[in-house]
């Protein structure tokens, strides 16, 4: 895209998008999230059950909330989700039992359900207004970069807050998340969305749109390859960063009382790596290509997870890099699906991708929780890495999951 064409992008909308991304606030509690649950007396199996509850809710709620987002507007859907997430974070900080956390995980998942498809759908359609949809990876990647750079300081603060009380990071995250509400109120729906015939979008047609998308020969293998296998394993990495980090650094001689603050700095490093990779998501797409990125990355991550079981100290750089590339990879996957989806029903389709991922990760979570209680999280991640390698080989043998061309032809909308 030329500099003149770039100047036509809806600058004010993009800036507001970046401001919204800066309020996502997850890094305040991420460094201590699972340590908080363990401090409440939960086992790894119970933590896995919490995550499974989250994903069951995702499965049941993604298509309906995506449908609602397509009907009431993407901005309104984002407002509902943001308010629900902020309220849930406050309640988690006060929760003192496993049943209470189960109920709150249902609310938490519903909040993200309302945001998951609508966020990308709003951005893609807004860029489409100015025929700049091919810049989606670049803008979304830079939005993730803004979020992650904000998270660098948030992770450090969250680690030190966790040293005082493991509930404090949740309260602070709730306050910052709530700042997203006035930002969202300042944006408008895209012309592309407003021009669609929403009255023609029934729930039955929404389900039909999802079915057509996932059975499309150009995308079906990709759904299995990324949303079923790779995304599920990256989710396990997210689950086990904290206990693995704690066991490795304590074995290296670090006092257990310093773990929370060190986790803050570790997550800050993850955010820095993620911000850098996400910022260049557009360049990755243009220079490396989606095909090369997705065909190499799962095998590299799988091999690294297996290798760190043999040499535990490798877990520190491996988990940092695996978590660091997750957000950029999600942006590139969203670009791939967006390019093959019509505007009407876009939020529904993107939500359904999260639904597929949420459904298939459940057996991974339950099995990894049982393995972790029986042996260790390191063994659980090593097994997951092996499954990723074997499963990815099977998908490639069935059908190459990413189209040969680096850029799909953008539909004229």
Residue 404 is predicted with a pLDDT of: 65
Residue 37's H or E segment, with its range, is helix 33-39
Residue 5 lies in a domain: no
Is 99 within 8 Å of 47 (Cβ atoms)? Answer: no
Residue 403 lies in a domain: no
Q: How far apart are CA 143 and CA 339, in angstroms?
A: 19
| pTM of model > 0.75 | no
Secondary structure (DSSP) of 162-211: HHH-TTHHHHHHHHHHHTHHHHHHT----HHHHTS-GGG--HHHHHHHHH
The two tokens of residue 155 are: 């992770």
Quick check: is 409 in a domain? no
Share of the chain above pLDDT 90, in %: 25
* Count of residues making up the chain: 413
CB 401 within 8 A of CB 226: yes
**Residue 260: domain span:** 11-398
Give yes or no for a contact between 17 and 339, defined as CB atoms under 8 angstroms apart: no
Under a CB-based contact definition with an 8 Å cutoff, are residues 44 and 369 in contact? yes
Query: Locate tokens 């997430």: which residue?
Result: 85
Number of H helices, E strands in the chain: 19, 0
Q: CA torsion 161→144→64→61, rounded to 10°?
A: -40
What is the overall mean pLDDT for the chain?
Answer: 81
Which has the closest alpha carbon to 134: 3, 8, 277, 1?
A: 1
Q: What is the pLDDT of residues 194-206, one digit of tens each?
A: 555 545 545 555 5
Residue 327's domain is classified under what CATH number? 1.20.1250.20
186 Cβ contact partners less than 8 Å away, ≥ 6 residues apart: 16
End-to-end alpha carbon distance in the chain = 19
| Domain-embedded: residue 4 | no
Q: How many domains does the chain have?
A: 1
Q: Does residue 142 lie within any of the structural domains?
A: yes
User: In this predicted model, what pLDDT tens digit does every residue of 302-339 receive, in sequence order?
Assistant: 999 999 999 999 999 999 999 888 878 887 887 787 77
Say what the pLDDT of residue 257 is.
80
According to the model, what pLDDT value does residue 392 have?
A: 94
Contacts of 379 (CB under 8 A, 6+ apart): 309, 371, 372
CA-based R_g, the chain, Å:
20
165 is a domain residue: yes
Flag whether 272 is in a domain: yes
More confident residue, 91 or 141: 91
pLDDT-based confidence at 6, cuts 50/70/90? very low
Q: Per-residue pLDDT tens for 89-115?
A: 999 999 878 999 999 999 998 898 888
pLDDT at 406: 43
| Tokens 């690294």, residue located | 304
Lowest mean per-residue pLDDT among 197-201, 269-273, 294-298 = 197-201
Contact 364, 294 (CB under 8 A): no
- Tell me the C-alpha distance between 289 and 124, whole Å: 20
């Amino acid at each position: 895209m030329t500099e003149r064409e770039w100047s036509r992008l809806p600058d004010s909308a993009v800036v507001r998008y970046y401001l919204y991304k800066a309020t996502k606030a997850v890094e305040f509690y991420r460094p201590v999230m699972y340590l908080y649950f363990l401090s409440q007396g939960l086992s790894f199996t119970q933590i896995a059950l919490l995550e499974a509850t989250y994903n069951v809710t995702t499965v049941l709620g993604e298509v309906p909330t995506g449908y609602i987002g397509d009907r009431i507007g993407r901005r309104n859907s984002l407002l509902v989700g943001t308010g629900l997430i902020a309220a849930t974070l406050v309640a988690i900080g006060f929760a003192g039992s496993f049943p209470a956390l189960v109920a709150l995980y249902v609310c938490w998942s519903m909040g993200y359900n309302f945001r998951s498809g609508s966020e990308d759908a709003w951005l893609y359609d807004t860029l489409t207004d100015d025929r700049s949809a091919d810049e989606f990876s670049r803008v979304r990647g830079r939005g993730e970069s803004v979020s992650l750079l904000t998270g660098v300081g948030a992770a450090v603060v969250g680690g030190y807050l966790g040293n005082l009380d493991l509930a404090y990071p949740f309260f602070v995250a709730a306050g910052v998340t709530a700042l997203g509400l006035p930002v969202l109120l300042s944006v408008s729906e895209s012309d592309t969305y407003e021009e669609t015939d929403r009255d023609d979008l029934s729930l039955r047609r929404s389900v039909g749109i999802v079915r057509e998308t996932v059975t499309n020969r150009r995308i079906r293998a990709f759904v299995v390859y990324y949303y079923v296998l790779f995304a599920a394993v990256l989710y396990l990495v997210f689950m086990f960063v904290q206990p693995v980090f704690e066991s490795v650094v304590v074995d290296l001689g670090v006092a257990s009382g310093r773990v929370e603050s060190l986790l803050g700095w570790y997550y800050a490093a993850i955010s820095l790596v993620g911000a850098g990779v996400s910022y260049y998501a557009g360049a990755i797409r243009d220079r490396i290509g989606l095909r090369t990125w997705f065909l190499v990355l799962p095998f590299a991550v799988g091999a690294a997870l297996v290798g760190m079981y043999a040499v535990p100290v490798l877990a520190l750089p491996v988990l940092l890099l695996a978590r660091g590339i997750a957000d950029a990879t999600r942006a590139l996957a969203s670009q791939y699906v967006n390019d093959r989806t019509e505007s009407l029903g876009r939020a529904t389709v993107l939500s359904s991708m999260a639904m597929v991922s949420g459904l298939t990760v459940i057996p991974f979570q339950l099995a990894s929780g049982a393995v972790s209680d029986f042996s260790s999280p390191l063994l659980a991640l090593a097994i997951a890495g092996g499954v990723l390698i074997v499963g990815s080989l099977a998908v490639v043998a069935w059908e190459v999951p990413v189209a040969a061309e680096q850029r799909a032809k953008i539909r004229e909308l």
